[in-house]
Structure 1
Amino acid sequence: MKLFHFSEEPGIQVFEPRTIYDQTDAKVWTIDEYHAPHYYFPRACPRVCIWPKDDTSNMDNERFFGMSKTSRIIAIENGWCERVKKGSIYRYIFDPADFELEEENAGYYVSRRPVVPMEVERIDDLITAILNEGIELRITPSLQPLREQVLKSTVNFSMIRMRNARQE
């Protein structure tokens, strides 16, 4: 298993624990291989990622995945399309021995001490990287209608940077 951290900043030598939002303890956050493509975007880009789980209903499987038979979808707003097309990110790779599982559904692993990446890779063609993972990329004027439907469904989801999404 590999763990990753994604950044638009090159050359980070040491990742120091930090607090985010209303957390009380500082952490270094990483993501597992399965969930890593959810971060093939500029950091601030809002997105909705969905995939089925064991108890996803047949109706939800058909509603969300029936038209393409994909097993994962990521949706972004059309206002972010150019930034994704022109963007690049750095994928920092970490030894999983330095981390503990924080949230299995989202693939989050954390360390409460400074960690040094084993290597770093630059990803320039983000859209191709996403598509090469077998993920359907949807581009929509607003994520809000999808968000509302996903929250009422039985699919797994990750909603990232939604505070930056268009408000209706």
Structure 2
Amino acid sequence: MLYHFSEDPSIEIFKPRQSSSFPNLHPAVWAIDQEHALHYYFPRDCPRVIYWKGEKTKEEDSESFFAETSTDKIIVIENSWLGKLRSTNLFIYSFSPESFELFEEAKTAGYYISFKEVKPLKVEPAGDLLDKITKEKVELRFTPNLYPIRNRILASSLDFSIIRFRNAGGKEQLGND
């Protein structure tokens, strides 16, 4: 089963659309696999940095990023999104995987695409998002500024997914402050 998350509960047909993140890709319908569905239990526009240990993770990165936790995945969002996380009504659309293929450019993030219109098998409310997230084997962290952790993750050997970062409210700090 593949999934799509939306704040709109009334989508009957998903039509391929152009991706701003991958402008050279033909219009597509996007879905996520079960393993990575947790990454989408957030308001649509909520910027988040998600990172985990992968096959190519170096021991020093594992120790640096996971020394104080018992989990293998960490999700970081900005403090200012907590209220919206608590109040968003999110809906989970389920798809048959038949017309989808793994999106190779970001395969560690669990993205699947279809170049055809797709009718969902069902749609259901996600419920309490904070409750859903905290029931998973993941650590949820809050920060006033996502730029420092994003920059550290990009320079690491960890697997990651950085979602809706254009909406980050913090500012990148350059030089010595």
Q: TM tier, shorter chain?
A: over 0.9
Question: Structure 1's 26 and 85: CA in aligned 2 closer, same or farther, altered over 3 A?
Answer: same
Aligned residue in 1 for 2:4: 5
TM-score using structure 1 length? 0.95
Correspondences of 1:51-62 after superposition (within 5 Å)? 51-62=52-63
Q: CA separation in 2, counterparts of 1:54 and 1:114?
A: 34
Aligned residue in 2 for 1:48: 49
Give the letter aligned to residue 164 of structure 1: N
Number of residue equivalences? 167
Aligned residue in 1 for 2:15: 16
Structure 1, unmatched stretches of 5+, are: none
Does the Cα contact within 8 Å between 1:93 and 1:117 map onto a contact in 2? yes
State the shift of 1:55 in Å.
Answer: 2.2
Q: CA separation in 2, counterparts of 1:119 and 1:24?
A: 27
Give the letter aligned to residue 121 of structure 1: E
- The yes-or-no answer on 1:150 pairing with 2:149 is no
RMSD, aligned CA: 1.1
State the shift of 1:34 in Å.
Answer: 0.8
Secondary structure of 2:35's match? Answer: coil
Spell out structure 1 runs of 4+ moving beyond 6 A: none
Query: Which range is displaced more, 35-44 or 59-68?
Result: 59-68
Query: Which range is displaced more, 103-112 or 140-149?
Result: 103-112
Does the Cα contact within 8 Å between 1:85 and 1:126 map onto a contact in 2? yes
Structure 2, unmatched stretches of 5+, are: 173-177
Correspondences of 1:1-168 after superposition (within 5 Å)? 2-21=1-20, 22-103=23-104, 104-166=107-169, 167-168=171-172
